Amino acid sequence: MSVITAVVAQNTRGVRSFQALDADFVGEQIDAVLDDVRVDAIKIGMVANAEIAQAIVQRIDSYELRNIVVDPVMAAKSGDPLLATNAIAAVRDELVPRATVITPNLPEAGPAAGRSPARSLEAMDDCAAELHRLGPAWVLLDGGTSG
């Protein structure tokens, strides 16, 4: 089961653009899935903007969803942004505290924790600790790139 939050114009060289779907429509997709199938866990990837993040949060709370994995997709492998600036705070302040596990990659960990990108092992540890303080039971910090 999937819920589409955005579509991306991308090739092997990078992202040309992305178009976020309407947050109400994203919410309707979530409702359609949850009204039909028992969901034991969810994984949240590309959120695109703060309005979509809020629609997801509303469904997490109203359906009392558990076992939530947040993979904060913020940029493509090419470095092109896949998350509106206003959504970084929404992911950090609204989605991460509801997560069971968060799985940012190295370039995403700093912004997700409200810090600069981690460029040392000590900075990685600090980001992971800060993300853990936000609420998830586990933080899996991936050294790879976005995408």
Q: How many structural domains does the chain have?
A: 1
Bridge partners (DSSP) of residue 101 are 69, 138
Are 91 and 44 in contact by the 8 Å Cβ rule? The answer is no
Q: Let me know if residue 69 belongs to a domain.
A: yes
> SS3 of 115, please?
coil
Q: Let me know if residue 146 belongs to a domain.
A: no
Task: Residue 101: give its domain's CATH number.
Answer: 3.40.1190.20
Q: Which residues are CB-neighbours of 94 under 8 A, at least 6 positions away?
A: 53, 54, 57
Are 116 and 126 in contact by the 8 Å Cβ rule? The answer is no
The yes-or-no verdict on residue 31 having pLDDT over 60 is yes
Q: Let me know if residue 23 belongs to a domain.
A: yes
Each residue's pLDDT tens digit, 95-144: 999 999 999 888 888 888 888 877 888 888 899 999 999 999 999 988 75
Could you tell me the residue range of the domain that residue 81 belongs to?
6-139
Q: Let me know if residue 125 belongs to a domain.
A: yes
How much is the pLDDT for 79?
67
Q: Let me know if residue 108 belongs to a domain.
A: yes
Q: Which residues are CB-neighbours of 17 under 8 A, at least 6 positions away?
A: 8, 9
Q: Let me know if residue 126 belongs to a domain.
A: yes
Each residue's pLDDT tens digit, 73-103: 887 766 667 888 888 899 999 999 999 999 9
Q: What is the pTM of this model?
A: 0.89
- How far is residue 82's CA from residue 72's CA, in Å, rounded to a whole number? 10
Q: Let me know if residue 18 belongs to a domain.
A: yes
Q: Let me know if residue 144 belongs to a domain.
A: no
How much is the pLDDT for 43?
97
How much is the pLDDT for 78?
65
